[in-house]
Amino acid sequence: MTIMRYGFFGEDEAQRLFLHHYLEAIAVDQAWRFEADEAFARRFKGQNKTRVNDLFDEVCEIGFREYWLQCFFVGLDLDDFDAAAFQVKQAEMRGRLHERGIEAILLIPVQCIEHWLWYLKWRMEHPRSTKNERLETQPRENAKLAVYNAKKCSTKHSNPIVAELSAGMKIEWLASRSASFLAFHNQVQSYLAALL
């Protein structure tokens, strides 16, 4: 089995857990799998949006140069539901990486990761529905309340919920609902197509 070691530098544990379950889901029945570099993860924690935004290109470079990571994921909540703002942020981050000759996969949820989780929760609660809910236009506080039953909560409270919602996720379904998740998923698919 081929193992692809990856690094993650993002805002919070919810993003890291979601990514872990997503990477497990796409590797089902494959001759390869992703594996997080734990030494890198212990050394670099994003902690908040400002830190991730300020340091992601430098941290990516260190990940490739010192840890020999094969793949790198950057997680940053957009805090906005506007598609134009999403495209601008994605282009800005890609430009900064390109200047350093770094290729990374950007995990940028429209508003916040909780919107992706909210979609997954909605699907669990309405498994037969074909209705296309537009959850990403809802305020981020509504998403956090819907997912965690609280507008603010500790990692201890949120981690089990994130794990439950993202484990075994239906990737194609989520990609059909969320444009920002589709953009992320397409980046991963392009990376795998070029590699394998």
Q: Render pLDDT for 92-113 as a digit per residue (tens, 0 to 9).
A: 888 888 787 777 887 777 678 9
What whole-number distance in Å separates Cα of residue 118 and Cα of residue 148?
Answer: 9
pLDDT value of position 86: 73
Q: Please answer whether residues 15 and 75 qualify as being in contact, where contact means their C-beta atoms are separated by less than 8 angstroms.
A: yes
Q: Which domain holds residue 14?
A: 2-195
Number of domains in the chain: 1
Instruction: Please give the mean pLDDT across all residues of the chain.
Output: 88
Residue with tokens 């924690």: 45
Average pLDDT of the segment spanning 128-155:
88
- Please report, rounded to a whole number, the percentage of residues in the chain having pLDDT higher than 70: 97
pTM of the model: 0.90
Residue 184 pLDDT greater than 70, yes or no: yes
pLDDT value of position 85: 77
What whole-number distance in Å separates Cα of residue 173 and Cα of residue 104?
Answer: 24
Residues 6+ away with beta carbon under 8 Å from 25: 168, 169, 171
Average pLDDT of the segment spanning 38-65:
89
Residue 28 pLDDT greater than 70, yes or no: yes
Tell the burial category of 194 from Cβ atoms under 10 Å away from its Cβ (0-12, 13-18, 19+): exposed
Q: How confident is the model at residue 136 (pLDDT cuts 50, 70, 90)?
A: confident
In sequence order, the β-bridge partners of residue 7 are 72
pLDDT value of position 83: 66
pLDDT value of position 96: 81
Three state DSSP letters for the chain: CEEEEEEEEECCHHHHHHHHHHHHHHCCCCCEEEEECHHHHHHCCCCCHHHHHHHHHHHHHHHHHHCCCCEEEEECCCCCCCHHHHHHHHHHHHHHHHHCCCCCEEECCCCCHHHHHHHHHHHHHCCCCCCCCCHHHCCHHHHHHHHHCCCCCCHHHHHHHHHHHHCCCCHHHHHHHCHHHHHHHHHHHHHHHHHC
pLDDT value of position 174: 95
